[in-house]
Structure 1
Amino acid sequence: MSAPVLELTGIAKSFGAVPALVSVDLVVEPGTIVGLLGQNGSGKSTLVKILTGIHRVDAGEIRFHGSVLESPVRHASRRGIVVIHQDLGLHPRLSVLDNVGVGDGYATGKLLPRSRRGELGTFRRLGERLGIDLDPWRLVGELSPAERVFVAVIRALRELEHGGGDGLAAHPLRRADGAAARGRERPSDRDDAPARGGRGASCSSPTGSRS
């Protein structure tokens, strides 16, 4: 049996005297999507920020493909962890293709046109993989909200490929109408109670195990 893509054990994080995460355990198996369900302020974003190295854990262990990651996690995208934020960070006056490549940019020098053609090929290949058909030259400002999410997903996959990682994407769960995704959640006594799950975020991994 292959090791989980991600395994968190006993994760704890406090900000001053306020606990945000208390003894959180989470396992993401290859080829699965896992949702974190909970109220606003329950610690979902804190957990994602721990995975991407923004926050350091106070206690607990992070394993990625069976290997222990030191906290704070360094170079998360190179390891294969990317985040698609609720604010997608897309520029409305840039084309779809330019938004996909805005993180790393294109190679400079005499081979710039060839590099751009390479980016176009990567964009189309990733789009076919996801069943997404978008005009790469269309301005993002002309796209529907759902289409903008597709652009962000393709950009995240491109980032994973360039980083050489095996792939774990974390992103907010939203329906096309903007309503929060629903699922089972643990009731809490107060809105700011430290949660062992969350509402409105998910982690997904590719099918298969690391070779």
Structure 2
Amino acid sequence: MAAKHPLSKEPVLSLRGISKNFGAVQALTDVDMDIFAGEVVAIVGDNGAGKSTLVKILAGVHGPDAGTIVFDGRRVTIPTPAAARALGLAIVFQDLSLCDNLDVVSNLFLGREVGDFTLNEEEMEKHSWTLLRQLSAKIPSVRIAVASLSGGQRQTVAIARSLIGDPQVVILDEPTAALGVAQTAEVLNLIENLRERGLGVVLISHNMADVQAVADRVVVLRLGRNNGDFRIPDVSYEEIISAITGATDNAVTRRASAHESHEDSNS
């Protein structure tokens, strides 16, 4: 079932026939994907499905062996992480790459400090608060050390940092991993704020509840290939699991079938 996006005609990011191998291992084979402005697309798949390789290609860490990348209507190459950022692609990896000993402002502007010969601390602090307010972020102070923040707040800082440079697409790698319920809800709200700002958001996640809560579409990778592109309102949890595993008969679908049979017998 191919998904159609109702809001915009042309994708901001389009991948066609992306393939990548590492020696004898074929990590990706002919992968296609479109990302539109103002939508959240979840990429899901089992371990080894190719999700990390695809993200690293978009991040400029790996180059594809075959295929084309079209960004904002023109064909591009992404040879380095700096090229990805310059293009308008922001990636927040799972490790966040934050400096615990620095405060929020210093983390946001690390490598992008404002000022010629001396740092303009006042301007950076003002811009930090502007970014965090736009995300409705719950950070007590921009001068607090990142080490003292919660997991959800640290994720917030990493996402806010990705917005410096005004990207068009933000890629989030397992942003709710190891977070509690309240912190997960906080991060999902941030993702919705990114969508409302008109950004294309790519969400890499193993958490199907998060995917169904915040994504507009879900793209399934299986063994390095496309195995489904669904609109969230049109697909069930069981169908997503079946696409991930490649089987229509598994524990999840059997449980759902048994539940339906039980309801039918009671009706």
Provide the TM-score with structure 2 as the length reference.
0.63
Deviates more, 1:92-101 or 1:167-176: 167-176
Aligned pairs for 1:171-182 (under 5 A) are 171-175=172-176, 176-177=179-180, 180-182=206-208
Return 5+ residue gaps in structure 1 as ranges: 199-211
Which residue does 2:171 correspond to in 1?
170
Output the CA distance in 1 between the equivalents of 2:129 and 2:68: 38
Return 5+ residue gaps in structure 2 as ranges: 1-7, 185-204, 212-217, 229-267
**85, 95, 98: which is aligned to 1:77?**
85
Output the CA distance in 2 between the equivalents of 1:138 and 1:9: 44
Output the CA distance in 2 between the equivalents of 1:185 and 1:31: 16
In structure 2, do the counterparts of structure 1 residues 187 and 7 end up closer, same or farther at CA, with 3 Å as the change threshold? closer
Which residue does 1:18 correspond to in 2?
25
**147, 152, 177: which is aligned to 1:146?**
152
8 Å CA contact 1:38–1:195 kept in 2: the answer is no
Q: CA deviation at 1:2?
A: 4.5
Which residue does 2:15 correspond to in 1?
8
**96, 100, 106: which is aligned to 1:92?**
100
8 Å CA contact 1:85–1:171 kept in 2: the answer is yes
Output the CA distance in 1 between the equivalents of 2:220 and 2:157: 33
In structure 2, do the counterparts of structure 1 residues 186 and 118 end up closer, same or farther at CA, with 3 Å as the change threshold? closer
Counterpart check, 1:28 vs 2:22: no
Over the matched positions of the two proteins, sequence identity in percent amounts to: 32
Which residue does 2:44 correspond to in 1?
37
Output the CA distance in 1 between the equivalents of 2:84 and 2:37: 18
Output the CA distance in 2 between the equivalents of 1:77 and 1:10: 23
C-alpha offsets along residues 64-121 of structure 1, whole Å, 9 cap, x if unaligned?
A: 0111013536611011011101001111111111111113234342x53xx1111111
Counterpart check, 1:49 vs 2:56: yes
Counterpart check, 1:132 vs 2:158: no
Which residue does 2:226 correspond to in 1?
196
In structure 2, do the counterparts of structure 1 residues 71 and 131 end up closer, same or farther at CA, with 3 Å as the change threshold? closer
Provide the secondary structure at the position in 2 that maps to 1:75: helix
Output the CA distance in 1 between the equivalents of 2:206 and 2:44: 10
Q: CA deviation at 1:53?
A: 1.7
Corresponding letter in the other structure for 1:152: A
Provide the TM-score with structure 1 as the length reference.
0.79
C-alpha offsets along residues 168-202 of structure 1, whole Å, 9 cap, x if unaligned?
A: 111123433389422578585xxxx324379xxxx
Moved runs in structure 1, 4+ residues, more than 4 A? 183-188
Output the CA distance in 2 between the equivalents of 1:167 and 1:39: 28
Aligned pairs for 1:116-131 (under 5 A) are 116-131=121-136
Output the CA distance in 2 between the equivalents of 1:75 and 1:119: 24
8 Å CA contact 1:100–1:155 kept in 2: the answer is yes
Output the CA distance in 1 between the equivalents of 2:108 and 2:76: 28
Aligned residues: 186
Provide the secondary structure at the position in 2 that maps to 1:196: strand
Q: CA deviation at 1:57?
A: 1.2
Provide the secondary structure at the position in 1 that maps to 2:126: helix
